[in-house]
Each structure stands twice: as C-alpha cells, then as structure tokens.
Copies of this chain bind each other. A is one copy, B any other.
C-alpha cells in the first residue's frame, strides 16, 4: 500500500524533564551540550526517535542512558511542534516528565553526559523551547502533586512525614503546617509505618513510612486536596 507516499515526514525527538529532590530543594537534571548546535548551552536530555521504537521506549532509553535507572516514573507530557523550534530542521519533540529518587542515579553516566542536578530556583536559560517545556512540567508536577499521591516517586523507599512535607514545600515554594499536613497525608491510608526511625535526624527521630503499594495503585486516581485552600479561593 502506498497511500501515504506523498505526505511529509518529520524528525521526531524525545526530551525528558527529570525532577529530583535532594531533601531540601527540587532539582532537575540538565545537560551542558558538548555538541552542535548550541554547544555549551544548557538543555534537556533528549534524542531522536528510532525507526522501530515506541515513544515511551525511546524516552526510557534516553533516561536510562543518562541515569542508569530502569524503573522510572514517566508520563508523556506534551508534544512540541512549532515549525521553527529547532533551527537546524523542523523537529517535533515529544516531552516526557520523569520523577526519580535523586540519590539513586548513576553518577558516572551523569558525568559522562556533562549533566548536572540544578536547583529549580537557579535554573539557567535553556536552548530552543526547553524553558517552555520546563514551565509546563513544573505546572504539571504541581497539579499532579496537589491531587495525587505522586510525591513518593521522588523519595527513597522509606521516608519520614517531615521529609515528605519538605518535598511538598519545595514543589509549591510555600510553608505548610506540620500537623495539618501529617493528618492529611495519613488520612489517605496510603502510608505504612515501618516501625523504624530515621537515624539521620539530629533531634527526635521521625518514623519511617513506606507506601502501601496495593492501595497506592487502587487509589491513585482518587481525588485529594493535599494543598490547603487559601481562604476565599472558592
């Protein structure tokens, strides 16, 4: 069959926005390009889609190449297609959104790609339309994290409630009330107290929790309001 032969064909790339959390601030993994075009500038990690490769597989390939990680939380975010978004040749970019446990990645692979964890509040300008992609991803993260129990993807398997709170505070750039936050999170029934205590802590040691995987899958799409409602918003 040759019905499509007269249609145009396009380059398709995948770019990944990789968020990580170091316990204090929200970071993203960026690379300093050592190839043309825009050599030396900051950009998202990306690559071209291969002939026989599914989109998500392509994204995971790129993620694995950079972080050494395999089981990463990713979502397809949006496809960017402005005609002139890549000065070399028109390229569509399917943008993926990834959350990883920052302390688990492969240092070597990161170094090899000239990649760095950059605090979101100190992000340099990126090439092409990567700033726009980043804005969208952050918006999406805020949206998702307010409604779904997604933050766990950024934390180690076992974590404390105060750690989780710090993560939320970093995501939204706001202070939260310790007691209300704890009550809200626990009321989801998604957390299991392991009985262990966080030995890192300098003062009173907080309990370590882990996800109840069963309930997590079940209730992922329930609606929640993890963020407080500023008075008068409704």
Chain A residues with a Cβ under 8 A of chain B: 1, 3-4, 7-12, 36-37, 48-55, 76, 78-79, 81-83, 87-92, 94, 146-147, 187-188, 222-225, 227, 229, 233-234
Which chain B residues border A87 with CB–CB below 8 Å?
1
Give which listed residue, B11, B52, B146, contacts A83 with CB less than 8 A: B52
Cβ B91 vs Cβ A4 within 8 A: yes
Copies of this chain, complex-wide, total: 2
Q: Which residues of B contact A11 (CB under 8 A)?
A: 4, 7-10
Let me know if B1 and A37 touch, CB within 8 A.
Answer: yes
Kindly identify which residue among B9, B187, B188, B224 contacts A10, using a CB–CB cutoff of 8 Å: B9
A88 and B8 form a contact (CB under 8 A): no
Contact across chains for A51 and B1 when beta carbons are under 8 A apart: no
Residues of B close to A7: CB separation below 8 A? 11, 48
Q: Which residues of B contact A4 (CB under 8 A)?
A: 11, 48, 88-89, 91
